[in-house]
Chains A and B, each alone.
Chain A
Amino acid sequence: MSKNTIRNHFSPRFTNEPWADKNGLIIKFSRRADGTLIKGRTGPREWGAESYLYSQDLEDALSYFERLVKPLYEKLLSGQILKPEERLAWSYWLLCQYSRTPSFMIELAKLPEDILARHSSVDVYSTLLNTEEQLKAAQSNIATFATSQELVPFLVLRDWVVYEAAPDGSFIKSDVPVIIRGALVEEDTTILYPLSPAKCFSATVAGGFFPPRQLQLESSLTAGQTVDFVKLIASTADREVICHVDNVSSNLVELLTAYLAIDSGYIKLGGFPD
């Protein structure tokens, strides 16, 4: 009997696990339409998934890719240097992770904003007349985007820095797991991918001048810099973020109240009103 995956993860389980405690608990924050912050409980399997988000073929292809990438994720977390071939695979993964979120798919499908404003779940859209084909096209765009030889040079050639959060700070993760702010062609474009509460991957151009040297560095952030990263991750979220239960604090709640989902790069799925 053929496999039929109902819940499709746009944020794979292994990438959510670093935010879980030993009991598998993750804390999530999202917004009501009135702007108030909601705190909830979730887990690595539950969070970052939508029902019927991908076709089974795409789900299978993504699962295969995830198995290839998981060791690279662990290498980056443990400070090991990636080989050039592994750098390529990781760069394709960044593109894949960037393009497989519900919000990006809808952006690509170019659904009318008035439809988006009336519904808050992706599987509702797929039932709407004339939108199914657009969503299928968006799905195929994930594959195109993730294997794009046109785009991968802007990632693989950059210098990579794995930042460590300040001792009294931590990173959150949002439903837009890879953040790209600015044009890929520019040296000062920000590309972030939080890997765990303690580590955040960044692709940059060290020194700010082309050409980059494909360095892979580690750097520790100050408390203020860590907060700046968290603000950026929160503000570019589509609807919600997760954090480790040990890192929930009144300061974080205050920050999320001010910044969560205020500057999403995509069309927002409900959530914070403009």
Chain B
Amino acid sequence: MNDPSNPDPKEWPFEAHIEYPDGREYCQFAKDNDDGTVSVISWDGNGPAAKVVPKSQVRLKVRPWEKAKAWRSLYAEVYGEKEVENKFNQESLDECLRVGRELVAKGEKPESELEMLRELEESFRGKTQEDWDAYNFFFTHFPSGTADHSLLITRGLFLIDRKILQKFDAFPRSLSVFWRKIGKLNFLREQVTRGFSSHELTELIDDFVAEFELQSSPEEWGDKLALAIGLLYGEVHRRGRPTSR
């Protein structure tokens, strides 16, 4: 066991209020043993020491400052700006394609896994470093690997909205197809915010994805959703560039 005078907060995630017949005891560090008992670090005349008490005597709570960390971490996830990671560029894309093709040729990966990379290669042909920077920014902040479609929709539209606001004049209402896509994604976000699950939104998600010409297989519509949002972000980036005016 760790030194009780210096407990690891991760190992002891709770604080505990223990009820005794003759009074109460507060312990700053406690953990649930999942066997009807709780271990706490208690102070007596000799200093801190671990002891076990019946769970029925204990009220366990996550320490407030640990909770505050969780809130702030969630805030950074939803609203924060991170340092852009996964610096992707033409060179690394070529390398991914080369490795991917080899694995497909050996039968170790299905052909479909190359499709997203091919679409990326197609859409980035002849593009500038600025385009790659936008791509890297988006995929640093967009949870593309998640199966949580509500998160894809909420976070994706948030990033797109911010991008549009930077160059709002570049998006006149006359861009009817563009605004139709935005409108569909916005409607999806509203339904997610109203508490509908992505399962209940399948038709609306399909309708939004149908705005884009994607090659992925129909059963992978979750990936298609992430890809469609990524493509829409790319469209916003292209239209917002000074050279596109």
Contacts and interface: CB of A to CB of B under 8 A. Distances in A.
Interface of A: 81, 83-85, 88, 152-154, 156-157, 183, 185-186, 206, 210-211, 213-217
B212 to A, nearest CB: 22
Contacts of A217: 194-195
A108 to B, nearest CB: 21
Do most interface residues of chain B lie in helix, strand or loop, or is the interface mixed? Answer: helix
B68 interface: yes
A213 B189 CA distance: 12
A35 to B, nearest CB: 36
Contact of A214 (B71, B154, B157, B190): B154
**Nearest 4 A-B pairs (CB), nearest first?**
A153-B75, A81-B190, A84-B158, A185-B67
Interface of B: 64, 67-68, 70-72, 74-75, 78-79, 150, 154, 157-158, 161-162, 165, 189-190, 193-195
A214 B195 CA distance: 9
Contacts of B64: 183, 185-186
Contacts of B158: 83-85
B148 to A, nearest CB: 10
Contacts of B71: 153-154, 157, 185, 210
Do most interface residues of chain A lie in helix, strand or loop, or is the interface mixed? Answer: loop
Contacts of B157: 83-84
A169 B195 CA distance: 27
A185 B193 contact: no
B195 A215 contact: yes
A84 B150 CA distance: 14
A35 B211 CA distance: 66
A65 B189 CA distance: 26
Given A84-B154, A153-B75, A210 B67 contact: yes
19 contacts: A81-B189, A83-B161, A84-B154, A84-B157, A84-B158, A84-B161, A85-B161, A153-B75, A157-B78, A185-B64, A185-B68, A186-B67, A206-B195, A210-B67, A210-B71, A215-B194, A215-B195, A216-B193, A217-B194
A213 B148 CA distance: 12
Given A84-B79, A153-B74, A183-B64, 8 more contacts: A84-B157, A85-B161, A85-B162, A88-B79, A154-B71, A156-B75, A185-B64, A217-B194
A183 B75 CA distance: 18
Contacts of B189: 81, 83
A144 B66 CA distance: 24
A130 B213 CA distance: 71
A157 B68 contact: no
Contacts of B78: 84, 157, 214
B67 A211 contact: no
B80 to A, nearest CB: 10
A157 B75 contact: yes
A216 B161 contact: no
B74 to A, nearest CB: 5
B194 A211 contact: no
Contacts of B193: 81, 214-216
A85 B190 CA distance: 14
B76 to A, nearest CB: 9
Contacts of A84: 78-79, 154, 157-158, 161
A185 to B, nearest CB: 5
B191 to A, nearest CB: 9
A200 B56 CA distance: 38
Q: Which of B71, B72, B154, B194 has the most CB of A within 10 A?
A: B71
